[in-house]
């Protein structure tokens, strides 16, 4: 059986008395486009930081491509790409200089790094301002540059923390095209996002974290079936479930699945009467 | 300025602005750094209060002296410095820091009059306004004490003069802000201001060095300038008071009306800028995609540095690119040379030739040591300018040992370059230093560099502080770093003095070189130890490093 792309066992992170991530057991198979979802403050960013070496776990074990992260940090890092929350950019370089720099940090020779930097800038539509510093880029341009930097060495796994946050439709389309191309070439992608429509369209598998605990994990179909079965078992005959429901004959959307699992539906009667 | 009426709703908005500033202040006290900031503000406030009261007393005494000796026209001599300080100090301070973003106000339903008044009020309690007001109050009291007949008139004139100063300040700020909103122009202006400050340092030495003659020429220049001076706000305010003291009330009124006319003109110019801002003028720095394909250039491969691995070369190149794009950092590069020139021109307090002129052999070691001292800003906070880029170092496969080594090599190269500049300056300004002195200085410098790099690497990992290479001032290192750096410099200078005294005792200068080289060997061993522990320390401190450096 081939090694899992990502696996965690009892992954836990505490900040003083607060348990941000508790006993999380993740299984991500190579080639999956994996969406990691959860409400604000659920522990998504904490988990992805631990998976990428930006944060030490308080307990538990992380394996990437069959290697434990704790003992094989350098060899794992050579095979993964990361776009962290802060994008990890160097503001006083130009886009080309930054990509050149990142490529060489991953061990590419000068010529290869420069060639790939040029191709990535073209693909991301960032080649029009060769002299502009990264600090002067718009937010969307910075996101595209961060993704370009994360893939310049051809990683086997790509970790993305909120890649579509604050990105317009055009930039978002470029990012999605890049990610789908990577999946077609056999890479694994692990992303966190609040934009459930995008996750539903892109991801084959999903995990949901809520209050630090993993509450669901599987393919979209598996999650849908699980939620429908649970709802049917819990409701008396003829009663309607809480939260938004699909029209007759339609499948549950990821948003509906998500809300059923985390229980975030707001009662209709809870109104702000003063709102126009 | 028609339609500047304050509606009842505006009062609520003013109150909300005041409340939010108070809440920001109270919330800032939740952290230790916030409380430390308050302490430093209190100390600075006391200093300003001292300057305010002292200045008011001095200016008041001078005003009393001029008026009581029937020389009221000399009040212009007092009003001009107040005017210049009032206008230049805030611009100077603003150039070094981030400026107020008026777009923050535009999302609220503010009418233009409210927006206008908030922009005038914002920062009107700054040090320049507080000090300027104190000083004018001192001058008014001095005038009143000398001639009570014109006291109320002087208060009115000086009050208008003070308001005019505030308006001019706001107007300059509003126009300068247009340029300061952009990073590049902000940096260029910052450099220009610093060059002006440095050039002031040369005024005294140059005057004493070259000028023993032309007092008549100075007097002629002053007399040519006087008619112009009388038509400018400080001259007009002084004329309005002095003419009243001489019972020439029509002239006094005329000068006062001209002062008011200045006020109207300033309000017009200010209104022009603020209206543009109110209507959503965009001063964004974001680059727009260019439609011209002609701008595209081929991507040049990174630097190839013989004997260094690809990551070390890449970081070395990145450090040099950062430094070369930092106006403030480039500016500090020339400071050792500037200091040497100053030492050459400045006579000692006894009127004899300066210290380095009498002992020119010390010029090279002094200049080289000063270069190293300046470099400690970088060495003790290696990751400060990387900001969120620190995350990249943690997710990349490169060891922190290599990262620090590359940064240290870059800083050592900067020091080598600076040392060459200092040597050239010493040769040109003083005389070529003796080979023995150069060798001993280089050996001592190498020892000091290695010690500073070792301690700097440790502190960079344990007490990082985010800095912006493009911004001047208000970028303090962590207190730990400041104290540790201070201790290290004392220890190095102590050891250096001991070595030099030993060499002098035996009358053999080469002994100093040998001792410094022996000390360097020990320092290199310590440096290797630090580099070997760098990864361990970086992992242990990664949360602090990321949270301090990657924060917005």
For the stretch B426-441, pLDDT in tens is 998 888 988 888 999 9
What pLDDT score does B28 carry? 72
**Higher pLDDT pick, B302 / B412:** B412
What pLDDT score does B275 carry? 86
CB-based contact B299 A96, cutoff 8 Å: yes
What pLDDT score does B57 carry? 93
Residue B343, φ and ψ in degrees, nearest 5: -60, -35
CB-based contact B314 A86, cutoff 8 Å: no
CA distance B92 to chain A (A): 24
Facing residue for B183 by CB, picked from A101, A129, A135: A135
B322 to chain A, any CB pair closer than 8 A? The answer is: yes
Q: Beta-carbon neighbour count of residue A151 at 10 Å?
A: 20
B298 to chain A, any CB pair closer than 8 A? The answer is: yes
Cβ-Cβ contacts under 8 Å between A and B: the total is 144
B386 to chain A, any CB pair closer than 8 A? The answer is: yes
Q: For B309, which residue in chain A has the nearest alpha carbon?
A: A107
Q: For B388, which residue in chain A has the nearest alpha carbon?
A: A88
CB-based contact B397 A113, cutoff 8 Å: no
Mean pLDDT of chain B: 82
Chain B, residues 266-295, CB within 8 A of chain A, namely 285-287, 289-293, 295
* Confidence grade of residue B172 (pLDDT, cut at 50, 70, 90): confident
CA distance B300 to chain A (A): 6
Residues A113, B302 contacting (CB under 8 angstroms): yes
Q: Provide mean pLDDT across the span A178-190.
A: 93
- Is the per-residue pLDDT at B485 higher than 60? yes
CA distance B216 to chain A (A): 52
CA distance A39 to chain B (A): 22
**Higher pLDDT pick, B182 / A84:** A84
Q: For B315, which residue in chain A has the nearest alpha carbon?
A: A101
* Confidence grade of residue B222 (pLDDT, cut at 50, 70, 90): low
What pLDDT score does B35 carry? 76
Q: Are strands A6-15 and A59-64 parallel, antiparallel or unpaired?
A: antiparallel
Facing residue for B310 by CB, picked from A97, A104, A149: A104
- Is the per-residue pLDDT at B276 higher than 70? yes
**Higher pLDDT pick, B16 / B180:** B16
SS3 at position B454: helix
Residues of A in contact with B539 (CB under 8 A): 56
Return the residue in A92, A93, A113, A154 with the most chain B beta carbons within 10 A, the one to mutate for interface testing.
A92
Pick from B49, B402, B392: which is nearest to A101 by CA? B392
Distance CA A130, CA A127 (A): 6
Percentage of residues in chain B with pLDDT exceeding 90?
37
Distance CA B60, CA B209 (A): 34
* Confidence grade of residue A215 (pLDDT, cut at 50, 70, 90): very high
CB-based contact B299 A88, cutoff 8 Å: no
b/e A156-183 (16+ beta carbons within 10 angstroms → b)? bbbbbbbbbeebeeebbebbeebbeebb
Q: Provide mean pLDDT across the span B88-112.
A: 63
Mean pLDDT of chain A: 88
Residues B286, A171 contacting (CB under 8 angstroms): no
Distance CA B160, CA B162 (A): 5
Residue B74, phi-psi category: left (phi > 0), alpha (psi -120 to 50), beta (remainder): alpha
What pLDDT score does A60 carry? 95
Q: Provide mean pLDDT across the span B169-187.
A: 72
- Is the per-residue pLDDT at B292 higher than 70? no
Chain B, residues 17-46, CB within 8 A of chain A, namely none
CA distance A58 to chain B (A): 13
Q: What does each C-alpha distance from B345 to A116, A242, B352, B370, B496 come to in angstroms?
A: 55, 85, 11, 18, 27
CB-based contact B322 A93, cutoff 8 Å: yes
CA distance B302 to chain A (A): 6
Residues A78, A106 contacting (CB under 8 angstroms): yes
Residues of A in contact with B313 (CB under 8 A): 104
CA atoms within 13 A on the CB side of B467: 29
Angle at B437 between CA B431 and CA B441, to 5 degrees: 115
B311 to chain A, any CB pair closer than 8 A? The answer is: yes
Of A23-37, B13-27, B222-236, which has the strongest mean pLDDT? A23-37
Helix (H) or strand (E) holding A84: none
Return the residue in B187, B285, B290, B301 with the most chain A beta carbons within 10 A, the one to mutate for interface testing.
B301
Q: Provide mean pLDDT across the span B237-248.
A: 91
- Is the per-residue pLDDT at B499 higher than 50? yes
B306 to chain A, any CB pair closer than 8 A? The answer is: no
Distance CA A83, CA A142 (A): 11
Q: For B312, which residue in chain A has the nearest alpha carbon?
A: A105
- Tokens 């005041």: give the residue: B18
CB-based contact B310 A109, cutoff 8 Å: yes
Q: For B322, which residue in chain A has the nearest alpha carbon?
A: A92
Q: Provide mean pLDDT across the span B248-273.
A: 92
Q: Beta-carbon neighbour count of residue B211 at 10 Å?
A: 11
Facing residue for B397 by CB, picked from A100, A101, A106: A106
CB-based contact A86 B391, cutoff 8 Å: yes
B470 to chain A, any CB pair closer than 8 A? The answer is: yes
Distance CA B251, CA A87 (A): 66
B5 to chain A, any CB pair closer than 8 A? The answer is: no
Distance CA B168, CA B268 (A): 11
Residues of A in contact with B287 (CB under 8 A): 129, 132, 136-138, 141
- Is the per-residue pLDDT at B206 higher than 80? no
CB-based contact B395 A132, cutoff 8 Å: no
Residues of B in contact with A108 (CB under 8 A): 310
Facing residue for B302 by CB, picked from A88, A91, A100: A100
* Confidence grade of residue B152 (pLDDT, cut at 50, 70, 90): very high
CB-based contact A129 B395, cutoff 8 Å: no
Q: What does each C-alpha distance from B514 to A207, B96, B210 come to in angstroms?
A: 66, 44, 43
pTM score, whole prediction: 0.72
**Higher pLDDT pick, B265 / B105:** B265
CA distance B280 to chain A (A): 19
* Confidence grade of residue B309 (pLDDT, cut at 50, 70, 90): very high
Q: Provide mean pLDDT across the span B199-225.
A: 66
Least confident span in A17-26, A215-224, B543-552 = B543-552
What pLDDT score does B379 carry? 92
CB-based contact A97 B321, cutoff 8 Å: yes
What pLDDT score does B358 carry? 72
B321 to chain A, any CB pair closer than 8 A? The answer is: yes
Q: Beta-carbon neighbour count of residue B61 at 10 Å?
A: 15
What pLDDT score does B474 carry? 47
**Higher pLDDT pick, B190 / B153:** B153
Q: How far is CA B119 from the centre of its chain?
A: 24
Residues of A in contact with B389 (CB under 8 A): 88-91
B381 to chain A, any CB pair closer than 8 A? The answer is: no
CB-based contact B391 A88, cutoff 8 Å: yes
Q: ipTM greater than 0.90, yes or no?
A: no
What pLDDT score does A161 carry? 92
Return the residue in A83, A128, A158 with the most chain B beta carbons within 10 A, the one to mutate for interface testing.
A128
Pick from A9, A16, A11: which is nearest to A47 by CA? A11
- Is the per-residue pLDDT at B481 higher than 50? yes
Tally of helices (H runs) and strands (E runs) in chain A: 9, 11
């Amino acid at each position: 059986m081939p090694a899992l792309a990502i696996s965690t066992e009892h992954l836990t992170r505490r900040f003083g008395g607060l348990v941000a991530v508790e006993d999380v057991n993740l299984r991500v198979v190579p080639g999956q486009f994996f969406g990691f979802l959860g409400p604000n403050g659920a522990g998504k960013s904490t988990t992805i930081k631990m998976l990428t070496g930006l944060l030490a776990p308080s307990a538990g074990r992380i394996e990437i491509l069959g290697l434990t992260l704790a003992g094989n940090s350098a060899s794992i890092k050579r095979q993964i790409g990361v776009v962290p929350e802060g994008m990890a950019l160097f503001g006083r370089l130009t886009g080309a200089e930054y990509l050149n720099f990142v490529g060489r940090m991953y061990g590419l020779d000068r010529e290869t790094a420069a060639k790939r930097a040029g191709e990535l800038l073209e693909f991301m539509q960032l080649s029009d301002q060769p002299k502009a510093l990264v600090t002067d880029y718009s937010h969307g341009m910075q996101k595209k540059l961060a993704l370009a930097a994360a893939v310049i060495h051809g990683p086997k796994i790509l970790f993305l923390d909120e890649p579509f946050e604050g990105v317009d439709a055009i930039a978002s389309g470029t990012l999605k095209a890049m990610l789908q191309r990577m999946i077609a070439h056999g890479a694994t992608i692990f992303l966190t996002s609040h934009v459930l429509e995008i996750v539903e369209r892109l991801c084959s598998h999903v995990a949901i974290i809520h209050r630090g605990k993993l509450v669901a994990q599987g393919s979209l179909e598996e999650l849908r079936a699980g939620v429908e079965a649970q709802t049917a078992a819990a409701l008396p005959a003829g009663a309607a479930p809480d939260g938004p429901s699909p029209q007759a004959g339609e499948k549950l959307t990821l948003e509906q699945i998500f809300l059923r699992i985390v229980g975030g539906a707001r009662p209709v009667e809870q109104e702000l009467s003063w709102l126009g | 300025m028609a339609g500047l009426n304050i509606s009842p709703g505006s009062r609520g908005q003013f109150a909300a602005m005041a409340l939010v500033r108070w809440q920001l202040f109270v919330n800032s006290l939740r952290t230790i750094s916030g409380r430390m900031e308050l302490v430093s503000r209190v100390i600075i406030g006391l200093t300003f209060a001292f300057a305010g009261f002292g200045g008011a007393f001095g200016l008041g005494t001078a005003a009393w002296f001029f008026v009581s000796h029937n020389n009221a026209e000399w009040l212009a001599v007092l009003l001009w410095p107040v005017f210049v300080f009032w206008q230049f100090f805030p611009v100077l301070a603003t150039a070094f820091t981030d400026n107020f973003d008026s777009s923050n106000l535009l999302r609220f339903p503010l009418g233009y009059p409210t927006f206008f008044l908030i922009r005038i009020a914002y920062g009107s309690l700054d040090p320049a306004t507080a000090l300027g007001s104190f000083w004018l109050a001192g001058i008014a009291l001095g005038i009143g004490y000398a001639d009570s007949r014109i006291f109320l008139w002087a208060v009115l004139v000086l009050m208008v003069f003070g308001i005019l100063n505030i308006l001019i300040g706001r107007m300059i700020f509003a126009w300068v802000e247009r340029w300061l909103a952009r990073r590049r122009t902000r940096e260029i202006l910052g450099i220009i201001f610093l060059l002006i400050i440095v050039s002031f340092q040369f005024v005294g030495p140059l005057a004493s060095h070259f000028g023993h003659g032309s007092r008549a020429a100075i007097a002629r220049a002053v007399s040519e300038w006087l008619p112009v001076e009388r038509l400018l706000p400080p001259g007009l305010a002084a004329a309005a008071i002095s003419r009243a003291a001489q019972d020439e009330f029509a002239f006094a009124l005329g000068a006062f009306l001209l002062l008011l006319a200045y006020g109207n003109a300033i309000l017009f110019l200010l209104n022009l800028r603020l209206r543009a801002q109110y209507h959503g003028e965009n001063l964004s720095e974001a680059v727009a995609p260019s439609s011209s394909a002609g701008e595209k250039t081929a991507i040049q491969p990174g630097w190839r540095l013989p004997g260094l691995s690809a990551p070390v070369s890449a970081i070395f190149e990145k450090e040099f690119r950062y430094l070369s794009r930092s106006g403030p950092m480039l500016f500090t590069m020339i400071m050792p040379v500037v200091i040497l020139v100053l030492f050459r021109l400045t006579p000692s307090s006894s009127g004899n030739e300066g210290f380095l002129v009498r002992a020119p052999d010390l010029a090279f070691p002094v200049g080289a040591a000063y270069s190293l001292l300046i470099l400690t800003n970088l060495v003790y906070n290696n990751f400060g300018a990387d900001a969120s880029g620190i995350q990249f170092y943690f997710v990349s496969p490169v060891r922190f040992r290599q990262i620090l080594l590359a940064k240290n090599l870059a800083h050592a190269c900067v020091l080598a370059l600076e040392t060459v500049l200092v040597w050239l300056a010493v040769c040109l300004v003083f005389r070529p230093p003796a080979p023995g002195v150069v060798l001993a200085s280089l050996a001592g410098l190498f020892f000091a560099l290695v010690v500073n790099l070792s301690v700097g690497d440790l502190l960079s990992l344990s007490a990082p502080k985010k800095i912006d290479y493009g911004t001047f001032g208000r970028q303090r290192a962590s207190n730990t770093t400041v104290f540790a750096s201070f201790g290290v410099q004392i220890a190095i200078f102590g050891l250096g003095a001991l070595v030099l005294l030993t060499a002098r005792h035996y009358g053999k200068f080469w002994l100093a070189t040998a001792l410094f080289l022996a000390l360097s060997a020990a320092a290199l061993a310590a440096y290797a130890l630090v580099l070997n522990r760098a990864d361990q320390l970086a992992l242990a401190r990664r949360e602090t490093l990321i949270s301090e450096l990657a924060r917005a």
